[in-house]
């Protein structure tokens, strides 16, 4: 499932704004804007509209998030969100409508309304007939195809941080249910609590599976040849039912190459450990930015594993929609330029919609849909016109680097040697006769008048 468009009418300070997306050609959408331009509102209301899919999948009578009264544009009576998504061909298509207007059977749209009555109280309304039909398509596809997964719907606000690393095992079976990958609630901030709960649970499960596998192979090693044993190991590895930890490590290493491993240390104390640039250390000893990004990537992996429980490669095969606000927060210039490309490499089938305010995000924007939010309207950014500016900046940086190196070399190898160095070379390289001859010549030079000296009268 991918978003094709979201239309906002009379919401906050947007009178009429339509966000149109082209996932097939440009899987990443980047929205740049200054502070207080409204980019957070775009993602927040898009997420609110998408929560209706998760709610209807849970139960056709369950409601998603609704708009608040204060979300209606000032001096207007009604606000509206119209969202349209593309249905994957794998699950089928909607039935053709009897309306005279031609509609695509691979697209599904639903509308959310908020209307103020005569008393000034807001009344919510949702038109979700097509959405409910799409939910039924997913339910039917999953029932007949165990490999079919559910779409990811994840929103990460700008206020995201790791508050506490809680690794206590709660033995909660809901942690591993697909419904735990969805949130049907407003998200003003996130602390990644569910990720750490899932990490402990899945680590215990996969460690137990590995121990059972090794015990079984140990019992068979004396009765089987080495080749047969190797084949058994390969078969067991490919048939593992829960490859979640490997998917987590692979995704983190793609997005954060300096993080080589992430694991739980059970003894002598339960701790979350990382291997960073060849050194083992506590997760809490990492920088704040590294901790947040490990948790964010890990939470995406958690959701994909829950939504695709029978997939050996959930990060590569899972699809859906990923919304990240202020993606350049806590990133330096180089990281900001690479983060979207790395996220797409780690999760190639996700539609990524991100906001930011730094031009470094455009440095690798060949496959981005780049938009500028300005004066309550979206305008495309011609990133090709910015490439000469980036090239000029890089040239200046390289020139400055070379100049610094030349100055350093000149300081280390001066053309004029000091008196002590000259005397040392004379003593080391001249013979006694050469030293005597040099002394005589110096005395002759001293006796000759210089141009600045006046001849004696």
Residue 57, judged by CB atoms within 10 A of its CB (0-12, 13-18, 19+), counts as: buried
Q: What is the C-alpha separation between 42 and 186, in angstroms, rounded?
A: 14
Q: How confident is the model at residue 317 (pLDDT cuts 50, 70, 90)?
A: very high
The torsion region of residue 345 among left (phi > 0), alpha (psi -120 to 50) and beta comes to: alpha
**Lowest mean per-residue pLDDT among 65-69, 282-286, 402-406, 432-436:** 402-406
pLDDT at 66 over 70: yes
The whole-number pLDDT of residue 457 equals: 43
pLDDT in tens, 369-402: 999 999 999 999 986 655 555 556 556 656 665 6
> 194-313 has which fold?
Rossmann fold (3.40.50)
Question: Fold match between 1-151+319-406 and 194-313?
Answer: yes
Does residue 367 have a pLDDT over 90?
A: no
Q: Tokens for 416?
A: 């004029």
**CA–CA dist 23, 356 (Å, integer):** 19
pLDDT single digits (tens) 240-288: 555 899 999 999 999 999 999 999 999 889 999 999 999 999 999 999 9
Mean pLDDT within 306-319: 94
In this structure, the number of other CB atoms found within 10 A of the CB of residue 351 comes to 25
Q: How far apart are CA 305 and CA 312, in angstroms?
A: 9
Q: Which of 138-142, 162-166, 223-227, 413-417 has the highest mean pLDDT?
A: 138-142
pLDDT higher than threshold 70 for residue 170: yes
Of 69-78, 261-270, 360-369, 416-425, the one with minimum mean pLDDT is 416-425
**CA-CA-CA-CA torsion sign (245, 251, 255, 257):** positive
Q: What is the pTM of this model?
A: 0.81
Mean pLDDT in residue range 143-150? 92
Average pLDDT over residues 331-346: 95
Tokens of 282: 């506590």
Residues 185-220: tens digit of each pLDDT: 999 999 999 999 999 999 988 888 777 777 776 676
Asked if pLDDT for residue 342 goes beyond 90, the answer is yes
Look at residue 368 and tell me whether its pLDDT is greater than 60. Answer: yes
Cβ-contact 352, 367 below 8 angstroms? no
Out of 29-33, 329-333, 381-385, which region has the weakest mean confidence (pLDDT)? 381-385
> Is residue 336 within 8 Å of 383, Cβ to Cβ?
no
Per-domain residue ranges of the chain: 1-151+319-406, 194-313
Q: 408: left (phi > 0), else alpha (psi -120 to 50), else beta?
A: alpha
**Which of 92-96, 186-190, 407-411, 440-444 has the highest average model confidence (pLDDT)?**
186-190
304 has pLDDT over 60: yes
Q: Mean pLDDT of all residues in the chain?
A: 85
Q: Is pLDDT larger for residue 332 or for residue 102?
A: 332
Give the pLDDT confidence score for residue 95 in this predicted structure.
83
**Res 28: pLDDT:** 96
Q: Whole-angstrom Cα distance, residue 70 to residue 63?
A: 20
Bridge partners of 5?
Answer: 20, 84
- Reference 340, options 374, 310, 363, 316; nearest CA is 363
Higher pLDDT, 319 or 446: 319
Structure confidence at residue 171 as a pLDDT band (50, 70, 90): confident
Q: What average pLDDT does range 119-125 have in this prediction?
A: 94
Confidence of residue 23 (pLDDT cuts 50, 70, 90): confident
pLDDT number for residue 264: 94
Cα(376)–Cα(144) distance, integer angstroms = 46
Architecture, CATH, for domain 1-151+319-406: 3-Layer(aba) Sandwich (3.40)
**For residue 80, pLDDT beyond 50:** yes
CB 161 within 8 A of CB 191: yes
Residue carrying the six token digits 């209706």 = 52
């Amino acid at each position: 499932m991918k978003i094709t468009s979201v239309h906002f009418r009379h919401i906050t300070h947007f009178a009429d704004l339509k966000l149109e997306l082209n996932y097939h050609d440009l899987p990443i959408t980047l929205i740049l804007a200054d502070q207080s331009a409204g980019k957070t509102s775009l993602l927040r209301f898009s997420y609110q509209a998408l929560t209706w899919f998760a709610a209807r999948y849970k139960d056709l009578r369950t409601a998603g998030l609704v708009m608040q009264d204060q979300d209606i544009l000032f001096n207007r009576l009604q606000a509206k969100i119209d969202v349209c998504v593309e249905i994957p061909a794998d699950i089928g298509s909607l039935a053709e409508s009897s309306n005279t207007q031609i509609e695509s059977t691979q697209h599904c749209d639903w509308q959310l309304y908020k209307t103020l009555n005569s008393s000034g109280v807001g009344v919510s309304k949702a038109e979700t007939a097509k959405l409910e039909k799409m939910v039924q398509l997913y339910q039917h596809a999953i029932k007949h195809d165990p490999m079919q997964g559910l779409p990811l719907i994840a929103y990460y606000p700008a206020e995201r941080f790791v508050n506490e690393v809680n690794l206590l095992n709660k033995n909660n079976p809901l942690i591993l249910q697909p419904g735990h990958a969805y949130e049907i609630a407003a998200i003003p901030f996130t602390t990644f609590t569910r990720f750490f709960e899932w990490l402990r649970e899945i680590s215990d499960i996969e460690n137990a599976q590995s121990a059972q596998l090794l015990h079984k192979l140990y019992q068979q090693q004396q009765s089987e040849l080495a080749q047969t044993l190797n084949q058994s190991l390969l078969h067991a590895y490919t048939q593992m039912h829960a490859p979640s930890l490997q998917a987590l490590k692979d995704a983190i290493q793609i997005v954060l190459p300096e993080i080589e491993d992430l694991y739980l240390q059970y003894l002598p104390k339960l701790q979350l450990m990382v291997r960073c640039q060849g050194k083992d250390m506590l997760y809490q000893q990492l920088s704040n930015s590294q901790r947040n990004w490990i948790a964010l990537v890990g939470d995406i992996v958690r959701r994909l594993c829950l939504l695709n429980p029978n997939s050996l490669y959930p990060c590569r095969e899972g699809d859906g929609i990923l919304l990240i606000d202020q993606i350049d927060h806590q990133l330096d210039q180089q990281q900001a330029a690479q983060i979207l490309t790395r996220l797409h490499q780690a999760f190639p089938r996700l539609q990524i919609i991100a906001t930011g305010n730094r031009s470094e995000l455009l440095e690798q924007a060949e496959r981005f849909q780049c938009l500028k939010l300005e004066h309550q309207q979206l305008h495309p950014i011609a990133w090709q016109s910015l490439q000469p500016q980036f090239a000029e900046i890089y040239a200046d940086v390289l020139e400055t680097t070379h100049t610094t190196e030349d100055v350093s070399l000149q300081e280390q190898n001066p053309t004029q040697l000091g008196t002590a160095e000259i005397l040392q070379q004379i003593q080391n390289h001249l013979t006694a006769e050469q030293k005597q001859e040099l002394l005589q010549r110096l005395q002759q030079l001293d006796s000759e008048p210089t141009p600045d000296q006046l001849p004696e009268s």
